[in-house]
A and B are shown apart, each in its own frame.
Chain A
Amino acid sequence: MAKRSIVPFGPQHPVLPEPVHLDLVLEDEVVVDAVPSIGFVHRGLEKLVETKDFKEYVYIAERVCGICSFGHGLGYCQTIEHIMNVEVPPRGRYLRTIWMEMSRVHSHLLWLGLLADAMGFESLFMESWKLREKILDMFDATTGGRVIFSVNCIGGVLKDMDDTMLKNIVDTCNEMERELKPIADAFLRDYTTGSRLHGLGVLTPKDATLMGAVGPMLRASGVAYDARKLGYAAYDELDVEPITATDGDSYARCEVRIKEIGQSFSLIRQAVAQIPAGPIAVPVKGMPNGEYFTRIEQPRGEAIYYVKANGTKFIDRFRLRTPTTSNIPPMLNMLKGCQLADVPLLILTIDPCISCTER
């Protein structure tokens, strides 16, 4: 048997974008085991719900994570709305859908950039992030914020978009779709990127389901599951089909995410075409009493929100299961048997968000 050695990896490491710590057990160059230890970003946000007004807590929920900030606000608001039997007006639901899909585009482009960076493909990283700035500009124009924009409130949204703005969004999407093409080709057709991604970290459909993978990880293994099919916000009135790939390797995960950007553009176009006129929010009176679970599809996968309220303005318990939490077990499994040099790339292909995971 070859000699075993343990390499500590993280929380700060030149090739690691997120503060996570792994103890990698190596046999020569091959990883045989990986032991994670977490807690570097744990803040204790769930506990804050006991001391903050439930309406005020929306802002905290949005700061669980700066990348999928809008989604966290949405999940929390939906849960409270269910408990309080609040019906969000159609225009509010459509606006939520549009912002949610814009968030997905921004998150996936961010991931593509980081992936290119992990491969050492600097110019591709710059290109992806340059394209991503367009979506951030749209956030800025519609809400006034770039990454955290706090437009969700219990009962609807806080800001409306007029027709020119909606048209602008569609124009930007069309333009971005054109500009995405060469970037997508560099990821999917280029020989060098292909050689890094093909066959790396294969996850079989059975393993993916058993270990609870979610989001693009699960869909890249060929399981057609997408929480948007549940039909929250305006998704029940739009045409959304889960995008899948069959190989289950890093290349498939990249492919799924790139196709999802296209899907988001299409959803935005559909939503803008169908958006009804009317109010964007309803006033909310009274205090929540009861408990409820909601699931929504974040860019990284399915997230679960649970709220137990007691009839006062302080909530008893808020619980959030984030996509990265469920993607870590499959990741540890994928790490076994890979080369040490592939570890950063492999960790990145699950699109880890440690801030969400540890809250």
Chain B
Amino acid sequence: MKKLAKSPWMLHYDASSCNGCDIEVLACTTPKYDIERFGIINTGDPFQADILLITGGVNAQCESVVRQLYEQMPNPKVVVAVGICACTGGVFKDCYNIKGGIDTVIPVDVYVPGCAARPQAIIDGVVKALEILEEKRRNYKEEKKEER
């Protein structure tokens, strides 16, 4: 990864996970792992976010919330599924209330496995997501240029 055009802001949402990955996502922002060195700020507001870090297997109740959050984020945006239950449903796959994986609801760009996903893995996933975000931004600019 070379340099970034802007500081990407991240939004974190718990779509019916066990909290294990959520506290690891938060741990990424604290001094030991310090995701902020990539210019990333943890925001609570979807309208300001570029990266959506999402955990959990999505249940019937929060499906609409996930969809809404995704739509509220401005383009271009990337989604990182954190933890095995966000990737496929994981241990909760057989639960009656679990849809199984974030990608059943919204498109996912990066999958971070692990139960719980380690901060190192999460950071790795985020950095990958940053590259995808850059690319999306370039494509997006070109599209706009063509429109004009």
Contact = CB atoms under 8 A, between A and B. Distances in A.
Nearest to A110: B23
Given A41-B14, A51-B94, A130 B32 contact: yes
A11 B27 contact: no
A145 B45 CA distance: 32
A147 B44 contact: no
B118 interface: yes
Most A C-beta atoms less than 10 A away, residue of B20, B27, B45: B20
Interface in B1-52: 13-24, 26-27, 30-32, 43-46
Interface string A37-52: 0011111110110010
Contacts of B27: 129, 133, 136
A112 B14 CA distance: 20
B62 A11 contact: yes
A45 B56 CA distance: 13
A47 B98 CA distance: 12
B124 to A, nearest CB: 16
A98 B15 CA distance: 32
Interface residues of A, number: 40
A331 interface: no
B106 interface: no
A353 B69 contact: no
Given A65-B19, A126-B30, A130-B32, A42 B14 contact: no
Given A65-B19, A355-B18, A133 B30 contact: yes
B116 A14 contact: no
A148 interface: yes
Contacts, number: 112
B116 A66 contact: yes
B97 A42 contact: yes
A148 B44 contact: no
A347 to B, nearest CB: 14
Contact of A126 (B16, B31, B118): B31
A42 B16 contact: yes
Nearest to B89: A43
A146 B120 CA distance: 12
Interface stretch (A56-64, A198-206, A253-261, A267-275): A56-64
Contact of B24 (A13, A41, A44, A147): A147
B20 A42 contact: no
A18 interface: yes
B111 interface: no
A148 B90 CA distance: 14
A47 B95 CA distance: 7
Contacts of B46: 12
B59 interface: yes
A78 interface: no
Given A19-B65, A43-B59, 20 more contacts: A11-B62, A11-B65, A12-B65, A40-B61, A41-B14, A41-B59, A43-B95, A63-B115, A65-B19, A66-B23, A67-B19, A67-B20, A110-B23, A113-B30, A126-B30, A129-B31, A146-B24, A147-B23, A147-B24, A148-B115
29 contacts: A12-B44, A12-B65, A18-B14, A19-B14, A19-B65, A40-B59, A40-B61, A40-B65, A42-B59, A42-B61, A42-B97, A43-B59, A43-B98, A48-B95, A63-B18, A64-B18, A65-B18, A65-B20, A110-B23, A129-B30, A129-B31, A130-B32, A133-B32, A145-B116, A146-B119, A147-B20, A147-B116, A148-B20, A148-B115
Interface of B: 13-24, 26-27, 30-32, 43-46, 56-57, 59, 61-62, 65, 69, 91-92, 94-98, 115-116, 118-119
